């Protein structure tokens, strides 16, 4: 099965697959064990063979491990892949310690990323978050410099506000906004999503399954030691109430002959031509199911059921995406 649909990312931007492959969970980020490396590389290569060219990584995913993995997977077929890289986060021992967005640091980070990936140019380069430690003009200006130097093709941003997006875009044209978005997390619909649409910026939407909540595979209580316990969404009565909500998705999936994950991805996909579902897949077996999700359509009634049951605020508690 192939993902044949392509989208133009941003105004006159690059042509990329409508479904993106998130590589983060192939490495240890939050202290989880590293996945089977061969399977991860095979998954990336099978994704490329299936028409998925958008690969998402970060220099802090496994402290460089993820970029090395992506580099191995694309060796000899650079032109098949569109490489999106985030930078700026400092991770240690499964915890995010802070951000480093200083221009000299960015100019240092990029060289390490290029070497680990084994490429000359990163297609989309983006700060993973912004803070007030460095003026936005300096962060965006540094990436603009890297574009002039030929080390980067397009500017991206991630997890920012609508005001920051407008400001960033006024300094240098932003090609894509990477942002958490799902039936369970719809806060961006009030101002960030309309701003991206108005400015002609592509939306790369991650966490479509809301940390697995929308897969329909989660059961209360969660096993001891499960990382989900850290998030209020998965604690006590919140989890019980949220799993009840997911029953509606499970029921609709059953009626349509798909899985809840497929509907969760299809719902994101249905939000517009400028919205790309970016899905983590660490095993080849995920690909046919998730590629098929891109073909699913909803009737107006089905859309209404989903939008009503998963209206903003319907899912209780938050994850690290709490804005
Ligand atoms: N900008 C940011 O701040 C930010 C933050 C987080 C993530 N990201 C990027 O976005 C990507 C996706 O985000 P995410 O990992 O948070 O969310 P996600 O795509 O919802 O993935 C969550 C989990 O869903 C599982 N999954 C995938 N397909 C499935 C299926 N058909 N049935 C059941 N489970 C399935 C994956 O398992 P397997 O791994 O076992 O295949 C993964 O562990 C990441 O890889 C990363 O590149 C960006």
| pLDDT, position 266 | 98
| pLDDT, position 323 | 60
Write out the chain's pLDDT in tens, 323 residues.
Answer: 887 789 999 998 999 999 999 999 999 887 778 889 999 999 999 999 999 999 999 999 999 999 999 999 999 999 999 999 999 999 887 788 999 999 999 999 999 999 999 999 999 999 999 999 999 999 999 999 999 999 999 999 999 999 999 999 999 999 999 999 999 999 999 999 999 999 999 999 999 999 999 999 999 999 998 889 989 999 999 999 999 999 999 999 999 999 999 999 999 999 999 999 999 999 999 999 999 999 999 999 999 999 999 999 999 999 988 76
| Residue to substitute in 1, 3, 22 for testing ligand 1 pocket (most ligand atoms within 8 angstroms of CB) | 22
Which residues on neighbouring strands pair with residue 58, listed in sequence order? 86
Q: Closest by alpha carbon to 40, among 286, 291, 294, 288?
A: 286
Cα–Cα distance, 255 to 92 (Å, whole number): 45
Which residues on neighbouring strands pair with residue 87, listed in sequence order? 127
Q: Closest by alpha carbon to 51, among 288, 323, 255?
A: 288
Identify the residue whose C-alpha is closest to ligand 1 atom 18.
Answer: 207
Cα–Cα distance, 317 to 315 (Å, whole number): 7
- Other CB atoms within a 10 A radius of the CB of residue 247 amount to 12
| pLDDT, position 156 | 98
Could you tell me whether strands 202-206 and 152-158 are parallel, antiparallel, or unpaired per DSSP bridges? unpaired
Residues 6+ apart with CB under 8 A from 205: 179, 180, 181, 182, 268, 271, 275, 276, 277, 278
As given in the structure block, the two tokens for residue 240 are 């019980």
Identify the residue whose C-alpha is closest to ligand 1 atom 32.
Answer: 261
Domain coordinates of the chain in residue numbers? 6-212+259-297
Report DSSP state, residue 189: G
Q: How many CA atoms lie within 13 A of 292 on its CB side?
A: 13
Determine the 3-state secondary structure of 20 from DSSP. Answer: strand
| Residue to substitute in 32, 44, 280, 296 for testing ligand 1 pocket (most ligand atoms within 8 angstroms of CB) | 280
Give 150 Cα–ligand 1 centroid separation in angstroms: 30
The ligand 1 atom at the shortest distance from the C-alpha of residue 56 is 47
Residues 6+ apart with CB under 8 A from 197: 272, 274
List active site positions: 61
Q: Closest by alpha carbon to 19, among 192, 191, 262?
A: 262
| pLDDT, position 145 | 98
Give 23 Cα–ligand 1 centroid separation in angstroms: 8
Give 289 Cα–ligand 1 centroid separation in angstroms: 14
Q: How many residues does the chain have?
A: 323
| pLDDT, position 81 | 98
pTM over 0.95: yes
As given in the structure block, the two tokens for residue 108 are 């240092």
Give the homologous superfamily in CATH for domain 6-212+259-297: NADP-dependent oxidoreductase domain (3.20.20.100)
pLDDT, one tens digit per residue, over 95-105 is 889 999 999 99
The ligand 1 atom at the shortest distance from the C-alpha of residue 24 is 45
Report DSSP state, residue 185: B
Identify the residue whose C-alpha is closest to ligand 1 atom 29.
Answer: 286
Q: Using CA of residue 131, residue 134, residue 140, residue 143, what is the dihedral sign?
A: negative
Helices 162-171 and 136-149, axial angle in degrees (round to 10):
40
């Amino acid at each position: 099965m192939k993902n044949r649909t392509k989208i133009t990312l941003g105004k006159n931007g690059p042509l990329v697959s409508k479904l993106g492959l998130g590589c983060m969970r192939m490495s240890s980020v939050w202290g989880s064990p590293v996945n089977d490396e061969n399977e991860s590389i095979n998954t990336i290569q099978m994704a490329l063979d299936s028409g998925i060219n958008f690969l998402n990584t970060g220099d802090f995913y496994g402290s460089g491990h993820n970029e090395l993995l992506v580099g191995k997977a694309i060796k000899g077929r650079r032109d098949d892949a569109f490489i999106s890289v985030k930078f700026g986060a400092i991770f240690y021992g499964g915890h995010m310690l802070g951000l480093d967005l200083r221009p000299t640091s960015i100019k240092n980070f990029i060289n390490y990323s290029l070497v680990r990936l084994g490429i000359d140019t990163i297609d989309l380069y983006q700060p993973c978050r912004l803070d007030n430690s460095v003026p936005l003009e300096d962060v965006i200006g540094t990436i603009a410099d890297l574009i002039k130097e030929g080390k980067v093709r397009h500017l991206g941003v991630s997890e920012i506000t609508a005001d920051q997006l407008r400001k960033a875009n006024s300094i240098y044209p932003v090609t894509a906004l990477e942002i958490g978005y799902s039936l369970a997390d719809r806060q961006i619909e009030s101002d960030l999503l309309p701003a991206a649409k108005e400015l002609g910026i592509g939306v790369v939407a991650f966490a479509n399954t809301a940390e697995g909540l929308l897969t329909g595979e989660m059961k209360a209580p969660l096993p001891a030691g499960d990382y989900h316990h850290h998030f209020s969404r998965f604690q006590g009565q919140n989890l019980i109430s949220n799993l009840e909500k997911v029953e509606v998705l499970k029921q609709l999936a059953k009626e349509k002959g798909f899985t809840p994950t497929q509907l969760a991805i299809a719902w994101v996909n249905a939000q517009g031509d400028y919205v790309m579902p970016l899905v983590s897949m660490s095993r080849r077996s995920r690909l046919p199911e998730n590629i098929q999700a891109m073909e699913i359509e909803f009737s107006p009634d089905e859309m209404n059921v989903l939008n009503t049951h998963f209206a903003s605020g319907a899912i209780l508690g938050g994850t690290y995406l709490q804005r």
